[in-house]
Structure 1
Amino acid sequence: MSEEREYPGGHVPVMLGRVLELLAPALTGPAPVVVDANLGLGGHAAALLEAHPTLHLVGIDRDPVAIERATARLAPYVGRTTIVRAVSDELAGVLAKIGRPVVQGALFDLGVSSPQLDEAERGFAYSYDAPLDMRMDTEQELTAERVVNTYPAGELARVLREYGEERFASRVAALIVKERAREPITSTKRLAELVRQAIPAATRRTGGNPAKRTFQALRIEVNAELAALEVALPAALDALAVGGRVVVLAYHSLEDRLTKQVLAARTRDTGPPGLPVPLEAHQPRFRLLTRGAELPDDDETARNPRAASARLRAAERIRQG
């Protein structure tokens, strides 16, 4: 089957083969359950449902557009899916409410989904001129425009530094504050131009569009993405049955670092050092399935450029907690 026919609209799930391979051993029972904490367009979900005929999939997403499109995409599996509009940090509550507190698989495909990037009016991309929005949940109040036009210079610089890893955060924030005093900054094009002006010319010549880090930082701030992951990933690990597996696809260093820290904490012996016999209560409940972060191969990045920044980590529950 061609990519175009298999994945309508050109949407290709990232590292799909590896995701299926890692989750498959956990889904051999009579009625396995997988929670997809970032459902998006449902590409990974559809492939999992096709590969495992007895699987029930719980899909969570905060974006109403994603929910609508994923629901349509997964219509052939309607009796085997539960799709819930919620933020990923509500994962434990969602599973409890639908009566499936224990799952065999969990998938996190973090970052921005294809509809959010491709629809200019959402304001996620600096490549389009659009209103400064960046909300994954289109009904929430906080937008990128509000952040840019109301945050004090120090707070704005902190956001750019922490979430965008922007070396020139203070310069960018100072110029934004100066310019918004003349006229509110309401468009992606104007913001991207201000960032370009704030960053030294020598730096602008390398590393791609200089606005990339600022847009990433604003998106994370508007949607509280790292805060959601800090809650959602531990909740997913807690929900896994023995033999259950989690797979996380991260797209920037902050997400990947947080994932690494959470998984490392669950896979280490917490007992006092030097004991002749390990204490059962302190033995790790999980084991890593990947050595470091796995990257997409060259063929995939050529086929799907959005996969280029993906970093995959996975773990398996080996003991009951």
Structure 2
Amino acid sequence: MSDEADIPAAPHIPVLLRPLLRECAPIRGRWLDGTFGAGGYAKGLIDAGAAHVTGIDRDPLAHEMAAGWIDAPPYAGKIDLVLGPFSRLDDYASDLDGIVLDLGVSSMQIDQAERGFSFLKEGPLDMRMSQEGPSAADFVNTASEQEIADILYHYGEERQSRKIARAIVKDREQVPFTTTVQLAGLIERLLPRRKPGQSHPATRSFQAIRIAVNDEFGELVAGLEAAERALRPGGQLAVVTFHSLEDRVVKRFFQQRASTGGGGSRYAPQDEVKTPGFEQLSKAIGPDEDELEANPRARSARLRVGRRTDAAFAAADREGLGLPKPVVRQG
């Protein structure tokens, strides 16, 4: 999955699959792919030796796309699909040997204009991964100027958030926002590109609105905790992120749960974690030159892997995870 909606389309390639398989080797037993998408990770895990993969995706499109191959050799009987959010993954499977989470929006979602994720393709201003609940249009047409500015700043790190929010509220009084190009055009007029090769001016704003619409940080924290509950001792959790905000949360989660009373990170007080829940297997891993050449959307991807210990589950310290301020969900 990727947040680089202004990069030319590439095939649905699972990002950082080779380093993931290398870090988690040997691949065996029962795995869960919490962000199934086009099934690239699930296929890779089965091909590498996993006996079974439970795939989870809240997007009905992913389930429709899988119908053509999931019941055919060589994957027949080895992959089951569940429609739902990965934040509840421990409701669907337990005692797992491994879990992979590939965060953000998938390339197949970006490439479909009717889903409203891309500012380069005209479509309805939607952005809902589950295709249910309030849409991006609902947000930009009803949220207050302050709320819009806060979301753009904290979720998208957009420095011109107040300027953009003010213009959105002014324009929607005349014509409500209904399409992606309508919103992207407004932002582009406010923030013209200064140099060739720079990201589209709407990149950060679209990312922020998408995160808000899909409660992505709430889902992430709940999903990390659910993974800890669902893994057996020795089981591995591999998480692929696509921007610094996500990576910070995952990094600090592993720091919290890998620390001990003998002296861990400042995000896990010594008197709260007596036995580490995870062993960190590596620092962040990025794509190599070969992967970047094959899939430009992988350029911002980072992989982090941890191995579950036999310690009892402990809830994450949300304050120490570095969550952006607008997050209100508590799991």
- TM-score range, shorter-chain basis? 0.7 to 0.9
- One-letter code aligned to 2:58: R
Aligned match of 2:328: none
Q: Does 1:177 align with 2:169?
A: yes
Question: Which structure shows the higher helix fraction?
Answer: 1
- Counterparts in 2 of 1:115-134, with a 5 A limit? 115-134=108-127
In the TM superposition, what is the alpha-carbon distance from 1:16 to its structure 2 partner?
1.3
Aligned residues: 295
Q: Does 1:72 align with 2:40?
A: no
Aligned match of 2:79: 81
In the TM superposition, what is the alpha-carbon distance from 1:109 to its structure 2 partner?
0.7
In the TM superposition, what is the alpha-carbon distance from 1:214 to its structure 2 partner?
0.5
Q: Does 1:242 align with 2:233?
A: yes
Residues 71 and 83 of structure 1 are in contact (CA less than 8 Å); yes or no, is this contact kept in structure 2?
Answer: no
Counterpart among 259, 265, 286 of residue 268 in structure 1: 259
Distance 1:214 1:317 in 2: 36
Distance 1:243 1:44 in 2: 20
TM-score when normalising by structure 1: 0.86
Residues 42 and 73 of structure 1 are in contact (CA less than 8 Å); yes or no, is this contact kept in structure 2?
Answer: no
Counterpart among 127, 135, 143 of residue 128 in structure 2: 135
- Counterparts in 2 of 1:172-321, with a 5 A limit? 172-199=164-191, 201=192, 207-271=198-262, 282-291=274-283, 293-321=284-312
- What is the root-mean-square deviation in Å for CA atoms of aligned residues? 2.1
Distance 2:76 2:197 in 1: 48
1:221-258 Cα shifts (integer Å, max 9, x gaps)? 11111110110111102221121111100011111111
Aligned match of 2:52: 56
TM-score when normalising by structure 2: 0.84
Residues 228 and 277 of structure 2 are in contact (CA less than 8 Å); yes or no, is this contact kept in structure 1?
Answer: no
Aligned match of 1:6: none
Q: Does 1:15 align with 2:16?
A: yes
In the TM superposition, what is the alpha-carbon distance from 1:161 to its structure 2 partner?
0.9
Between the aligned residues of both structures, percent identity stands at 40
- One-letter code aligned to 2:126: D
Residues 57 and 82 of structure 1 are in contact (CA less than 8 Å); yes or no, is this contact kept in structure 2?
Answer: yes
Aligned match of 2:317: none
The 10-residue stretch of structure 1 (72-81 or 214-223) with the greater mean CA deviation from structure 2: 72-81
In the TM superposition, what is the alpha-carbon distance from 1:74 to its structure 2 partner?
2.6
Distance 1:272 1:316 in 2: 19
In the TM superposition, what is the alpha-carbon distance from 1:272 to its structure 2 partner?
7.3
Distance 1:34 1:130 in 2: 36
Residues 193 and 200 of structure 2 are in contact (CA less than 8 Å); yes or no, is this contact kept in structure 1?
Answer: no
Distance 1:63 1:296 in 2: 26
- One-letter code aligned to 1:142: P
Residues 89 and 227 of structure 2 are in contact (CA less than 8 Å); yes or no, is this contact kept in structure 1?
Answer: yes
- One-letter code aligned to 1:268: S
Counterpart among 107, 117, 138 of residue 114 in structure 1: 107
Residues 204 and 210 of structure 1 are in contact (CA less than 8 Å); yes or no, is this contact kept in structure 2?
Answer: no
Aligned match of 2:31: 34
1:284-314 Cα shifts (integer Å, max 9, x gaps)? 23211112x1110121111101111101111
The 10-residue stretch of structure 1 (311-320 or 185-194) with the greater mean CA deviation from structure 2: 311-320
In the TM superposition, what is the alpha-carbon distance from 1:319 to its structure 2 partner?
3.3
Residues 98 and 236 of structure 2 are in contact (CA less than 8 Å); yes or no, is this contact kept in structure 1?
Answer: yes
Which blocks of at least 5 consecutive residues in structure 1 are unaligned? 1-8, 96-100
In the TM superposition, what is the alpha-carbon distance from 1:202 to its structure 2 partner?
7.6
